[in-house]
Every structure is written in structure tokens, then in C-alpha cells.
Chains A and B, each alone.
Chain A
């Protein structure tokens, strides 16, 4: 069993209001405070996993005084770039050329390693002759090679003429080396044909080409063309799709059609006739109709002859980009030979705004190469962090010995944990904790927060602390010494330890025993982890403007305004011993 580091997750208040279906007044924490008792947060509920975040993932809006999680943030895109070549892609390209790098950045379809373009030296026909111009002959071809698993694009029969713009070249080659027409070329060819030979030639050529050349992109393009021509047809009038939407007979077109149908003699009204001309369906391959080739025996034979490892795994298939150029739609990427190099997905740099006040709360540098942020209001610098440490009080191996990570908790034996709250802001915090006496779930452990209410001093200058060192000595440090030396000094309602901007308190937990009815039930994944939900409410006094809490300490006290923030968090304490 994996050792478990104690952890803290915080539930963003936004999900609370959403799940309870309450109006958006939950932004004021008082309302959430009220029903704290009624519906204690259950960290085991499957939905909880969607709203819990580690502190590092959370941002904070200074103006709304609210935590902002990835779910309650509006994003704007600063830059699009390829993670491989770090080339910035203009946003206009994105629409026309898709979400992948169109230069020469590819990932290996077998592993995910980057592919590099390597020239294939044609086997020298005459090695003795070292003619210099031989190297410059157009016969030099290039292939993509994975430096990790040494996969080569020659394995799927693809070679390139040029070492650059691989993406464009790849679009024209099918696996095995056969060339295909891109959509643009196809359109041009169609135009050319219609100029030259008229309808008949066009139909004939497309019929001939349909069999081997039809792929998803072509069929889609044909269909689009066909439907457009049908809709543009003046006879079609009311478009044939109307019946898609007229389930309620509420559209005027369908009503008029029905009226026309049932008002007898007016059927030969020319206007009605033109209206009723429904769109016909596609008949030829040129119009997008494609008969299925149900004979898959050749593929079965291929599967029969191939080894298990010759077939592509489902993860490999999933990472394949949608292959528009495949000749058949089904069973397409089944063998390794039908996989294609994966162009890198582009990435974005995003700036984030608070959805309520529209203030920017995170803004990266626009340049791709830099990882810095211009603005970044992380929640960690606004709300207290909680660290968990196990307290071995009556330890046989010496007092206050740090508990070994991953130590299993004995069922039904009280354990003590030290929770250290560290105040990041320059105001003193008033913290109120609430935890249900029993953890929710099938195995309720008893939880007692010995000191549910305390103040944390402001995160003042370190030098202030140094000056006050002597005063503190008497209260904080001595307390700890007393706690460790005498056997049981954990007192209810008392702070365990206190520092410049932090406070430690004790939580006593009696882990439940994980006894299961034999044969009936199974322990679900992570059900042996002791997690306690805890409602944290912090109050502090911010400056009247509320804009800048950071510079607030030295200012006028009269303008101060009381602020509060409340949220649920989950403390993962450890695994309970089974048996």
C-alpha cells in the first residue's frame, strides 16, 4: 500500500452553491455558515472529487475576497504555441489549420517521443564512386524517426521529399505511400473537370474515383456540396431540413405545408408546388452517398496473420489525430501499420479573470519562452495554509519523535495530529473551525478539534518577530516543551503551539475499524484513508477600500472593514490499518 502523505484539499465555495442549487448569494460566506450543521460536506461522495483542489491550484480574487478555482474562472487566451518548437501560432491559423502544429513537429505514434526528420541515404549503388553531386540528387528522401523507440515512418511506408513542411507533405500521403488529394486539390480538380468536359465527364470521373479514393474528408466535402446545391436550388424553396425541427409543428413552414395538404384543391398551386419541393437525397458517391463495403475478410486475414503486438493499443489509437485521409471509416487504425505520426497539439497561455468583477487574477507573460506571470494572485498568499503532522505523544521511541510517513493508524486507538495554520496576510486572522464529530462514510471515525477557535498573528516583518522573540519564548516554546516532556499535556481549548504568523492546534481522532462483513462487501478504493472534513471560517480586518490587503498594516485603523471567508476543506490524515 502506498504511503500516504497527509494532505489538505480545499473545496471552492463556487461548487457548493452550484450543487445545492442555491442562488448566487453563497458568495457571501455567512449563508454557507448557517447550514454547516445540516449538510456536512462528505469528502467521500463521488461529486466531492470534482470540487476539491489543493491549495496550489486555487487563485484568489482580491476584490471579491473569494477563492477562485479552475471552474469559476473565465479565461482569455494570450498566446497559442507549439510545445515542441515553441513557435507562436497566430489565432487566425487556428481556425483554418486546426489545433495541431503544422510545421514539422510530430510525436511517435508508438511511444509518445518526439520524432525527428532524418535523411535516408539510398543504398549506394556503387560505393567505390564518391561522386560529390550524388549527394545532391533528388533521390534523397527523408523520414521521421523516433529517437526513443526507433520507430521510423518508413515502417508505414511514408517517406518525404523535403526535410521541411512535413505536415503538408504528410497530408498528401496515405499510409503505404499512396498519394491522396487534399480537399483543396480535389476542389480544383472538380472545377477543372467541369470546365473541360461538363457534367458527364465529371460524374464519370468521380464515379471512378469514388471506389478507392473516398475518405471521411472527401465524403464530408461531397455531402456539404450536395446539400448546399440542394438548398440553393430555387425549387427547393423551403429547405428540406425543415422536418428536422418541426416536431412541434410550430414552424410556419411545416404549418403551411400541413395546411396545404389538407386544403384539398389548392394542391396544384404553383407556389405550393415550389414550396413543397423537398430536397432529394444523395444518389451518387459524388454527392456523398457511400455504400458500405461489408467484406472485411482481408482485414480479418491480416489480423489473423499478425501478432498481438502488431495491433495498435487503444491508447495509441486514442492519441491519433482524427485521420481525415483514411480510406475506410471503420476499423481504420487497427494495426501499427495504419498509425500515423501525431502532430503536436498546440497549447495556450491563458490569462484568467474573476467572473464576477472581471478583474484579472492571473496573467502570463505573452512571450512563449518565459514562464513568468505578470499577475498571479494565488490563494496560498491569501488564505491560511494547513500542514498536518502526527503527534506521537506516549512514544516508546522517545518523545515527540516524528511519525514515520505512511504509518498506518491503529483502529480504535486515539491519535493526535498537529494542525499548523500559517497566516500569509499582513493582518491577524481569526479562525473558527468546525468538524463533524464523526466522519461521514461507512466507517465513521471520531474527530475532536481540541481548539476550534483561535487567532493567528499577522504575517509581519521577520525582524519584528526577532525583536519579539523574547516575549514569545515564554508562551509558545515553553508550551511545547511542557507538552513533550510530561506525558499528556493536550488540553482542550488551548493552542498547542504558536509562532510569529502560525498557530498549531491538536485534533484528536479515533480511527474506525475497517471490519467488513465477510464475503459481502469490499473495501472501495481509498476507503481506508482517514479523511476529515473541516469547515474553516476566517475573519480578518481589511482596509476600507479592500483593494490591497498587503499594504494594510500600517494604515489607518478606522477605515478597516471586517472580512470573512468560509470554506470546507478536507484533511487526509493517514491510512487505517486493515484487519
Chain B
């Protein structure tokens, strides 16, 4: 690129000189010219030589989304990825190892003779990465990505191995070493001229057609709640309650119902390690097929939607465990199992199949104080991340909740989380202080005067009013408050307001919206040729690696300083050869 630029520069600088010479004396210029045309014509081949690469760059961009368990790939502009490759143990085998197809592997002989201890071994081969970088083999991650991508390219994309531009959709919490390993593998093995990075929460936001959203990513490793405001991630909270926990809870449930003679009797079970009686594949299968989630107890009240009636109807059927109708109690689910000692079919009550999701995501039998920061139940997690947001951001985000991730397909889970969060808001308002002391303080009339500066916050918490009213008050309070802080007409507000449509934005009420997904969102972004968070060029990466990336903070200062001079804006941007890794390079 730089060569091209200098070439054109060399071509243009002699031009005025030549034209002047032409005007003066065409004959002499004819003599002097031979040197100049040759110098000016020399850049032409280089530019025509360079043009194929630019042509190639205009080709379709490959978009790949890397998740903990799968890789999705497709062309930019498509509505959905062309292919999905799951990370499985068979992918870790050598080429030419066909044991998956042998009859023994079908009957899980291998699994039965093997004793698996510890959750890590149980699930490890089904995951791409573990975010704990300490004991991770980064080269292995690169190899896994390479093999999966190669499979995807040959099986689903059906493209040759010409270098193509790529765009990666990555979770923004991906540690830098892993990002580096992935990029290394992509750059050295597939030779893309550039790789752009998109963060999946932002892509999801774009995929939902909004500018701000609260992304609840019910992922495999963990659940991440990300608040996106004006396409920027402003807050992230996470909890380990994700798909992995769900599958483990499913295993626990199944193992509990397993007849004793089907279990592996090793007799050496210690407390810290857990033995697995069933294979991961089977538990995962059952978790995706049969596990469901009980609706929220008071969801009809919290739901002010028109679907209130069917919800209520459903609740009578399946929710209240103590008042189950006899048919309900007798209803059992028969689940055939293959991976225990001998194939068997277990029967377990239908209601029990809701237990795994209950334990994995809610654990509502424990008090709130018993949870660590990394294992908050999901409603609390969503509530707290909303609580941390500034008022106006919160107002926007709470009415743009996007559920995504693999566990979002657990039936009823999204509704349950939504309902419980609504209830929490209804009960507590937006006050982070909880407990007896806080209640007493609120009840104490003497202290009310002192806390008069925050009447809107404490108001709804004390009174148990219908949710609609609470929502209205809350909203009023919020905006009243915001108006107080803004002394005059805030210029920023005005600017923002100008961008808005005349139609009012939905804000301040709980609402969930659907996104086409992170991959499709990124496909949209790339299709619209919007700037990605970061674009890395191959040469630069191969030369410097991740160390070559400048940190966003550094760039801030430098470009800001440059911009203050006259014309600094343009120069600053033109001479901008620094690149960042965006959110990934921050730490």
C-alpha cells in the first residue's frame, strides 16, 4: 500500500514540471522526457501489479465467529453462517484415525472402560478454550482453530485457498494471549491480507437493529451480561452459570436416577473429584432435548404483556410443585441411556427435568449472600449489571434486552430470567443497598429528610404498588432526576436528540428483543462496510505480533495532541499507522 502511494507520488510530482516544459518548448521537452516517462511509467506496472490484491480485497469477506464450542463461518452479507463446526474430541484425533467409525466407539466401550474424574476432563475436549490462560496450551488452540476452519472451508464454504479478508467475531472478554494465538494461526496458515475484529455484543446489538442493548449471553462457559450503549460496551458482568454447569447438573440428575448396578464402581470417590457415570455427549444431548425451565412464579403479575393468559394457564399445569395434579405427578419421562454399563432406560418425573436448569442458573434455595461474585444467579446478575449503569443508559438498556447463547434455547429460561429481573426491580427499585439496616433506615422517618435528595430511588422500594405504577414512577423519577442535574440545555443531549427520530424511543420499561445473532450482525456490519473495532494487516502482525498493537489509551493522547494544531485532524488520520486491538488490547 505504501509502495503504491509513493509510486503515485513519484508519478505526480514530475507531472507539473513536465507540463510546464511542454508549454515552453515542446521540442526540448521531447528530449528530456524519456527519463521522466520511464520513471512515471514505472509506477504503473507496480500499481497494476498491486491492483489484483485490491481486487481480491473487494471480494467477499469471510466472517467467522468463534465460540467456546463451535466455529461459524460464512460470507459477509449472508443472513446466516454457511457452516458450523463444533469442537469435538474426534477433531483432536490424528488424521487417519477412524476409531469414531468403529463399532466399539458406537457402543461407547471406550467410555465405559475409562474412568473419568474431574469436570475438566469430562468437557475439555469439547471446548475450544478455557479462559484460564495459566494452564492452557496456546499452540493447541491455534491448531484447533486451524483444523476447524479448514474443515469449514472445504466442507461448507467450498472455496479455494486464495487469501481472503477475514473478520472475526469474538467475545470481548477473550484474553489477549488467546486472541493472539488465534490471529497467529489465521495469519500464518490462511494468509488473509487483513483480519478485522468485531466484538460479539456489539454485533448482536447491530443484529437487533438498536444502538444500545443489554446483552444476556447465556453461553457455554459462563453467562456474560454486557451493556452496550451507542455501540460501545460500557459494562460487563459475568457468572459461571452457563451451559457447562447445565450439562453437569443434567449428569447429576441422571446419575441420581441411575440404577446402582449401572454405575461404575470404583470405590475411590473422594470429595474433591467427581466421577462421571455417563458420557458427556449423552448428557449434552439430553440437556438440549429434554431439559426445560419452570416459569417464574409471579410472572403473570410481572408480565404486563398481553400473553398473560396463556402463561397463567401453563403455570397451573406445571409450575406449582406442591399442588400438582395427579396426572402431572404420574407423568414420567423415559430417557434411554447408552453410555452407562449396559443400555438402559430410566424413568424420572417430568418435573425433575427442570431441576438442572434450576440449579444451574438460579439456585433459588440459597440466600443471595451465599453467592460469590463469580457465581451470581442470572436474574441477580442482570439486575446488578443494570443497577451499575448510569440512569439514561439503564433506561435504554432495560428495554432492549437481548438473550443469546446456546442456553437461550432452554425452554422457558428466557422468560424466567426476564420475569425474575422484573420482580427484583419491582421489589427493590434501583437501590443497591439491601438488608435489614437499609430497610430500617428507609422506614425511619427521621432519616427521611436527610435522604431527601434521593426520593425517587427510595420511594418505590418501600411501597408495594402494582408494577405498572412502579415502572411509571421509576421512569418519572429517573427523568426528573436527570433534568435536575442538567443545568441548562445540555449541548451533548441536544446533539444526541438531533440524531433521534421524531418517534419516541422505548425506554424505562422492561422489554426483550430478538437479535439475528452475533454472526449475522457482523455480517451486516461488514456488508455495510462500517469500520470494525480493529483491523490488523498481515505484514504488521507477522512483524510485531500483538506487541505491535498500540493501546487505545496511547493512541488517545497522541492523536488528541496532534489534532490540536491546524490541519492536525487530517494529518493525524492520514499518518495514522498505529492500530489497536480494540477492547482486547486494553489490558
Contact = CB atoms under 8 A, between A and B. Distances in A.
Contact of B532 (A220, A245, A318): A245
A308 B555 contact: no
Interface string A46-58: 1101111110110
- In this complex, the interface size class of chain A, counting residues with CB under 8 Å from chain B, is 35 or more
B81 interface: yes
A276 B95 contact: no
A19 interface: yes
B380 interface: no
Contact of A46 (B140, B512, B578): B140
Interface stretch (B251-259, B330-338, B437-445, B447-455): B330-338
Contact of B559 (A219, A255, A297): A255
Contacts of B313: 297
Given A291-B511, A308-B336, A329 B559 contact: no
Nearest to B496: A278
Nearest to B499: A278
Contacts of B533: 244-245, 247
B462 interface: no
Interface in B302-341: 305, 307, 310-311, 313-315, 317-318, 331, 333-336
Nearest to A53: B95
A74 B331 CA distance: 58
Contact of A223 (B110, B318, B418, B516): B516
A250 B573 contact: yes
B82 A98 contact: yes
Interface string B142-162: 011011001000111111111
Contacts of B528: 227-228, 231, 239, 241
A500 B530 CA distance: 67
A71 B230 CA distance: 42
Contacts, number: 308
A99 interface: yes
Interface string A262-296: 00100100000100111111110001111111111
A300 B292 contact: yes
Interface in B93-124: 93-96, 99, 102, 104, 110, 113-117
B210 A247 contact: no
B137 interface: yes
B110 A248 contact: no
Contacts of A298: 310, 314
A518 interface: yes
Interface stretch (A154-162, A343-351, A376-384, A545-553): A343-351
B94 A519 contact: no
Contact of B409 (A242, A282, A331): A331
A304 B289 CA distance: 11
A223 B524 CA distance: 8
B289 A312 contact: yes
B527 interface: yes
B307 A292 contact: no
A54 B94 CA distance: 9
B563 interface: yes
B463 interface: no
A470 interface: no
A74 to B, nearest CB: 5
B215 interface: no
Contacts of A295: 305, 307, 310-311, 415
B235 to A, nearest CB: 16
A278 B310 CA distance: 40
Interface string B349-381: 010000000000000000000000000000000
B491 interface: yes
Contacts of A330: 403, 408-409, 414
B61 to A, nearest CB: 13
A243 interface: yes
A525 B230 CA distance: 50
Interface stretch (A75-83, A133-141, A412-420, A424-432): A75-83
A369 to B, nearest CB: 19
B79 interface: yes
Contacts of A71: 146, 150, 189
Contacts of A95: 60, 75
Given A52-B94, A308-B335, A75 B516 contact: no
14 contacts: A9-B96, A70-B95, A76-B160, A95-B60, A99-B158, A227-B528, A241-B530, A247-B552, A255-B573, A276-B499, A295-B415, A304-B318, A311-B290, A347-B158
Interface of B: 60, 75, 79-84, 86, 92-96, 99, 102, 104, 110, 113-117, 137, 139-140, 143-144, 146-147, 150, 154-162, 188-189, 202, 206-212, 230-232, 268, 270, 284-285, 288-290, 292, 295, 305, 307, 310-311, 313-315, 317-318, 331, 333-336, 350, 403, 408-409, 411-412, 414-415, 418, 491-492, 494-496, 498-501, 503, 505, 511-514, 516-517, 520, 524-525, 527-528, 530-534, 550, 552, 555-556, 559-560, 563, 569-570, 572-573, 576, 578, 580, 582-583
Given A46-B92, A255-B559, A294-B307, 13 more contacts: A19-B139, A70-B95, A80-B158, A95-B60, A228-B528, A249-B555, A251-B531, A292-B512, A295-B307, A296-B411, A313-B289, A345-B156, A519-B268
